[in-house]
Amino acid sequence: MKAVFKHEAGLYSHGLLACVFGAFLLEFIGIGAMLYNINAAVANFEYALGTFCIGFVALVPILTMRVLAEEKKQKTDQLLSLLPLSSTDIILGKYFAMALVFVIPMLVACVYPLIFSMYGEVYLPTSYGALFAFVFLGLALIAIGMFISSLTESQGMAAGLCVVVMLFCYYSASLADYIASTAFNLVALVVIAALLALLVRRLTCSDAAGILVLVLCLAAVGVVWLVSPDSLATLLPDLMSRLSLFERFYTFVNGVFDVTAIVYCLSAAAFFLFLCVQSWEKKRYNG
């Protein structure tokens, strides 16, 4: 893992991607700070971070689109598979290199509340609590982007899919407020079950595994429908709200340090890194 990490970190340090990513990250945060902390004279730096969240929709695809897709396109993934490295070492080495590219600008952003506190009152505990949560939110989103990159050989397709997924994650809680039809929820849940089954089928190359997942998901939906039909009207909206990474982060913007949100972000990152490993393993044994 260390060898992969050093190699990827070296590529970032000698290229423009890390500089562009860091510059735009700090620019977005700076714009939010200017709007709230300077122009509006608001003492809460966390509002600036809450405003920037939409920036992840553009920045995460830029950072993650090439990390695995380019390896597949250039066939260098086959060379990596010949090295005495496990799939976990390869995935984690690449992930930690991207995490470093993200964390370094965030260390610079940690100075902002201290600078603002020199010229006015700033709530430092909530500001740094939000910064802490912001880092974990970014790490979870980077893991999602990395998994999407593992599904295709095209950087453009990886970036496009990642933008769609990021937008859905960002607006999922808002969209949940407009979903109230039981019939619509039922159809949506069936579609989600089918997509999940297709994903499992792609990762495992097993028709049986895909069918099993589909049957289990449909059975769960059927049980809910039989036991409490009215709950279907709120099941999908509740899931969308509770699973939203951005909605968890907004708890910190509101001044509450929620440990469960940090655990959730870490769990999401670990889950999608696990899927990355499975996707890489599939390519290793089928390629």
Mean pLDDT of 113-137: 86
51 with 32: CB under 8 angstroms? yes
Percent of the chain with pLDDT over 70: 90
* Confidence band for 229, pLDDT divided at 50, 70 and 90: low
What is the end-to-end Cα distance of the chain in Å, rounded?
22
pLDDT digits (tens, 9 = 90+) for 62-99: 999 888 888 777 777 777 777 777 888 889 999 999 99
Q: Report which secondary-structure segment, H or E, holds 56.
A: helix 56-64
Mean pLDDT for the stretch of residues 254-283 = 88
Q: How confident is the model at residue 39 (pLDDT cuts 50, 70, 90)?
A: confident
Beta-carbon contacts of residue 229 (< 8 Å; ≥ 6 apart)? 182
pLDDT tens-digit profile of 181-205? Answer: 555 666 777 777 787 778 777 766 6
d(Cα 179, Cα 177) in Å, to the nearest integer? 6
Q: What is the DSSP letter of 72?
A: H
Higher-pLDDT residue of 191 and 126 is 126
| pLDDT tens-digit readout, 238-252 | 777 778 888 889 888
Model confidence at 35, pLDDT cuts 50, 70, 90, reads confident
- As a whole number, mean pLDDT of residues 138-157 equals 90
Q: pTM surpassing 0.75? A: yes
Count of Cβ atoms closer than 10 Å to residue 258 Cβ:
16
d(CA 64, CA 219): 36
C-beta neighbour count of 195 within 10 angstroms:
12
